Every structure is written in C-alpha cells, then in structure tokens.
Amino acid sequence: MRLLKRFAHYYKPHRFLFSMDLLAAFFMAACDLFYPMLTRRIINDYIPGHKLQLFFGWAIAMLLIYLAKTLLTYFTIYWGHTVGVRIQADMRRDLFSHIQTLPFSFFDENKTGALLSRVVNDTFEITELAHHGPEDLFISFVTLILSFILLGRINLILTLFIFVFVPLLILFAVKLRKLMIHAFARSRQETASINAEIENSLSGIRVAKAFDNADYENEKFARSNRSFVQARMGVYRVMAVFNAGMQLGIDLLPLLALTCSGFFALMGWINIGDLAAFILYISMFTSPIRRLNQFVELFQDGMSGFERFCQIMDTAPEPEPADPQLPGTFSADIKFENVNFQYDENKTVLENINITVPRGQTVALVGPSGGGKTTFCHLIPRFYAPSGGKVLIGGIDVQDMPSEALRRNIGLVQQDVFLFSGTIRENIAYGRLDATDNEIVEAAMKAELHDTIMAMPDGYDTDIGERGVKLSGGQKQRIAIARVFLKNPPILILDEATSALDTVT
C-alpha cells in the first residue's frame, strides 16, 4: 500500500489530464453497451411492430455513437500516453537528481550498467503501468459494472448466477500474485546484471582486443545471458499458468451464459430478445477480463520496477553538516590529525596520519601503489569520511563544511582522467561553465595544450569521442589539467596527473 501511495503521488501534477483521460475512457466503454440493448429492442419491439422509422433512427444513432467512440479512442490513447511519458520524465528527473546527491561509496558498490538499467528500463516499465494500468482497470470495471446493471434489468437471478463465476477468476489471479512478484523481481535483477555486463565489456573493448580475450568476454556474456533467459523463462512460466487459467475462464463464461440463458428462454422466463442481449453482453465480458489479465502482468512488472526505483530514492544522500562552518579563506593550511581510514573492517588504508601542508606550499606524496595516496587526496574534498581523526582546512574540519562550498574551492586532477563526449572546448569549460573563450584558451596555454589544439582541423571544436578515445593519453591529461586551471581553485590536487606527459611538458 505504501508503494501505491508513492506511485499515485506522481499523478498529482497531471491530475487534470489524467482525469480527462479517465472521463474519455468512461464514455468510450459506455458506447459499447448500447448495441446489445438496441438488439434486444429490435427483436422484441421494432421487428414485430414493423417500426421501420425507429429501426433506422436507432441505426443512425448507433453510427453517431461509434463515430463519437472513435474520437474518444483518439483522446484516450493520446492523453493516456501523454500522462505516461510525463510521469516517466518526472521519475527519471527525480532519480537522476537523487543519484547526483549520493555518496562515493554508493558508486563503489553499484555498477554503472545496473544504474543505467534503473534509469532507463525500470522507468519505462513503470510508465507502461502509469499509462495503461489505471486506464485498463477503469475501463474493465466500468464495463463490468454497467453490464451487470443492464443484465440485472433483463433478469437479475440469471445475472447473479453467471456473475458468481467472475470472483473465481479474481481469486485465481490473487493466488498467483506472489509467484509473479518473485518472478518479475528476479527478471529485473537479471536485466540490470546483463546491462552492467554489456556496459563493462564495451567500455573495456580495447583492452579485450589488446589481450585477444574475445572468447573470454563472450563466455562471460553467455553466462549473464543464460541467467537472463532463465529469469525470463520463470516469468513466462508463471504468466503461462496465469493466462491459461484466465483463458479457460474466458472460454467457460460464454458457454455458461449460453447454457443458462438458453435454459431460461426454453422455460419461457426470458424472451428471444433478452436472450440475444444477454449473449451479446456476456461476449463483451471477454474484453474487460482480458484487460484485467493484461493489467495483472503490467502491474507486477511495473511495481517491480517501481520498487527498484524506490530502493535508490530511499538511499540516503551524502550527509551534510547540521551546523555548517567555513574557514575565513580556503587559501589556508591543510592539516591531517590522527587520520585513519578503512574501506571495510578488514582493510586499513591509512593509519594515524599526521601532516600539515602550509598555505602556498607544494607537497608531494611518494609511496608504493596501493599505499593510500589517492585515498589521502580523496579525504580533502570529503569524497569519503575518515574512520578516525580529522582533516582540517583553516582550522575547520571538512566534515563540518558544506560539500558544495568545499569542492568549489578544490581542484582535483585524478590519475584516471575522465573526459565527457563532446568537444575540447566543452571539456575544458567544464571547469567553469561560465568561462569565456579567451579564458578557455588561456587555460589551455597554461597546460601546454593550445598549440596542439590549433594543429587540429577543428581546433577547440574538435570532437574527442567517447571518454576522449580520439586523443592520446598525454592530450587527455593536459585537457584535465587545463580544466582545473580554468577553475583556478585555492587548493590544487594532482593525483599522478602527469603520468602520461612527456618530460619537456
């Protein structure tokens, strides 16, 4: 129920359009109910009474009703999909914005491909439920309820006798619900896993080719693919049982109606017109029952995706201090006081670190790979919190500083340079988004990059490809350095940022 309330919350900004969609769906469902009543009247009244004028009058009226239904169908489809895609956009916006606030440790534990699956695949399935779910449910219940009322007016006892069969179908669907929840949840997990595997393999395709490990990559993917297929087969198995059972009910319902209404007609309790109307109304039952059938599958798939959506939305964002403090200036001493750090309980990276970096001084850290140099750097902008001790800037603990203000005053060039798809200009400008072209050029000059850029056919507008694949390692590092020069922060951290540069540079 809590999930449903959270889900319903996303309809609020679009409640007018959603209401119009349901209103159009109501009248669209009602349009179909005129035909059996007209058939009953034609057989019982118009033909025996030779009422030709009324006969053709109702025929024209039905034509107008079906034309109106065509227009209502258009609005139902258009408005329904509009509501669905807007809810999808809202959910993706909220999810993407929330992901931006999550701590570094979250991204250490979650694969990029799996997160991509939640942002794209899960929200799509949720949208299908957001659009089709309420609409299908509403149309089905409107058709069933109005049909029950109209059938009851023909013969209430016969109607009640036949409608007893409907709760049995609902009970059958409820019984299979738990199996469907489990099957769809596993399917979602395997979809995320295979997306993560694909993203990982494609990102490392050059390494795979360099080591001639295509067979190994194919085998890894095959394992993920097999798990995905098995998960989907589990879904299809449950849905096959569900659909087969529902289809049996759908097939038996008209048979039951024909048998019972035929018996009532033979006994003289209803006339031929009533019999025809009864059979036509019962035949209409198959449509709402099929819609309910589709709704159950859609609901399980959509709510499984929404539950995964909520798992991320419920992940606590990076903590901010309750009483934030800032130093008088960030051009101040940086001090580590008895700092310890552990990524987990069994792995101590830094232990009892005490060091002071005076304002304006350059300090180099030297040590073996895995010695904690990068971790040391990451503690200053508060990417991680120390397990013990304090990191101070200007006498203020970085844990007491707002992350936005802290990181705005720190420039970090990491050893694993990341460049965004786009142009050289866009990547340098990422250091300060409001920078002018002259400032971008000046930053490139400081990074010994300007001449290299100008030698390219498109200059600063050169497209660098995904993650800078069209550039050399040294060029990528110099763009990263130019980016931080453009930012021009009081504190500059270079984490092996010149490892790919030539000696002269």
Convert 307-346 into a string of H (helix), E (strand) and C (coil).
HHHHHHHCCCCCCCCCCCCCCCCCCCCEEEEEEEEEEECC
State how far Cα 437 lies from the chain centre.
37
| 242/275 same-domain check | yes
Taking residues 155-179, report their average pLDDT.
79
Which two structure tokens, joined as six digits, stand for 29?
């469902």
Instruction: Look up the CATH number of the domain holding residue 275.
Output: 1.20.1560.10
Per-residue pLDDT tens over the stretch 415-457: 788 888 889 999 999 889 899 999 999 999 998 899 899 998 8
Per-residue pLDDT tens over the stretch 128-160: 888 888 888 888 888 888 888 888 888 888 888
Say what the pLDDT of residue 335 is.
Answer: 92
Going 165 to 168 to 173 to 179, the CA torsion angle's sign is negative
Looking at residue 270, the DSSP 8-state letter turns out to be S
Which two structure tokens, joined as six digits, stand for 394?
């200007």
Of the candidates 394, 383, 374, 364, which has an alpha carbon nearest to the alpha carbon of residue 490? Answer: 394
- Who contacts 214 (Cβ-Cβ below 8 Å, separation ≥6)? 208
CA angle in degrees (0–180, nearest 5) for 400-403-405: 95
Taking residues 371-387, report their average pLDDT.
89
More confident residue, 52 or 481: 481
Taking residues 359-388, report their average pLDDT.
87
| 198/332 same-domain check | no
pLDDT-above-90 percentage for the chain: 19
Decide which of 401, 431, 456 is a domain's last residue.
401
Taking residues 164-191, report their average pLDDT.
78
Per-residue pLDDT tens over the stretch 248-278: 887 888 888 888 888 888 888 888 888 888 8
Tell me how far apart the alpha carbons of residues 82 and 369 are, in angstroms, rounded to a whole number: 54
| 359/378 same-domain check | yes
Per-residue pLDDT tens over the stretch 273-298: 888 888 888 777 777 877 877 787 78
pLDDT-above-70 percentage for the chain: 97
Say what the pLDDT of residue 206 is.
Answer: 64
Say what the pLDDT of residue 308 is.
Answer: 86
| 36/154 same-domain check | yes
User: pTM for this one?
Assistant: 0.78
| 346/439 same-domain check | no
Taking residues 213-241, report their average pLDDT.
85
Indicate if the pLDDT at residue 498 is higher than 70: no
- 132-151 core/surface letters (b: 16 or more CB in 10 A; e: else): bbbbbbbbbebbbebbbebb
pLDDT band at residue 500 using 50, 70 and 90 as cut-offs: low
Per-residue pLDDT tens over the stretch 103-128: 888 888 888 878 888 888 888 888 88
| 249/267 same-domain check | yes
The answer to whether 372 and 349 are in contact (CB under 8 A) is yes
Burial class for 344, CB neighbours closer than 10 Å (0-12, 13-18, 19+): exposed
Mean predicted lDDT score pLDDT of the chain: 85
CA angle in degrees (0–180, nearest 5) for 205-208-214: 105
Indicate if the pLDDT at residue 43 is higher than 90: no
Say what the pLDDT of residue 499 is.
Answer: 55
| 354/413 same-domain check | no
Residue with tokens 């408005």: 79
| 87/146 same-domain check | yes
Decide which of 368, 401, 434 is a domain's last residue.
401
Convert 356-412 into a string of H (helix), E (strand) and C (coil).
EECCCCCCCCCCCCCCCHHHHHHHCCCCCCCCEEEEEECCEEHHHCCHHHHHHCEEE
pLDDT band at residue 11 using 50, 70 and 90 as cut-offs: very high
More confident residue, 54 or 204: 54
348-354 long-range contacts (CB < 8 A, ≥24 apart) are: 349/375, 350/375, 350/376, 350/379, 350/386, 352/389, 353/389
Decide which of 313, 342, 368 is a domain's last residue.
313
| 118/267 same-domain check | yes
Indicate if the pLDDT at residue 503 is higher than 60: no
Of the candidates 297, 278, 280, which has an alpha carbon nearest to the alpha carbon of residue 133? Answer: 297
**By residue range, what is the domain housing residue 499?**
409-505
The domain total for the chain is 3
Residue with tokens 């017109």: 273
| 252/305 same-domain check | yes
Convert 3-29 into a string of H (helix), E (strand) and C (coil).
HHHHHHHCCHHHHHHHHHHHHHHHHHH
Per-residue pLDDT tens over the stretch 70-87: 999 999 989 988 998 899
What residue type is assigned to position 472 of the chain?
Answer: S
Say what the pLDDT of residue 438 is.
Answer: 92
pLDDT band at residue 315 using 50, 70 and 90 as cut-offs: very high
**CA–CA distances in Å: residue 8 to residues 11, 54, 106, 140:** 5, 47, 28, 20
Give the three-state DSSP class for 351: strand
Indicate if the pLDDT at residue 175 is higher than 80: no
Between 157-171, 332-346, 350-364, the lowest mean confidence (pLDDT) is in 157-171
Instruction: Look up the CATH number of the domain holding residue 341.
Output: 3.40.50.300
Say what the pLDDT of residue 211 is.
Answer: 64
Say what the pLDDT of residue 505 is.
Answer: 55
Which two structure tokens, joined as six digits, stand for 338?
């008895």
| 378/501 same-domain check | no
Tell me how far apart the alpha carbons of residues 239 and 176 are, in angstroms, rounded to a whole number: 9
| 143/9 same-domain check | yes
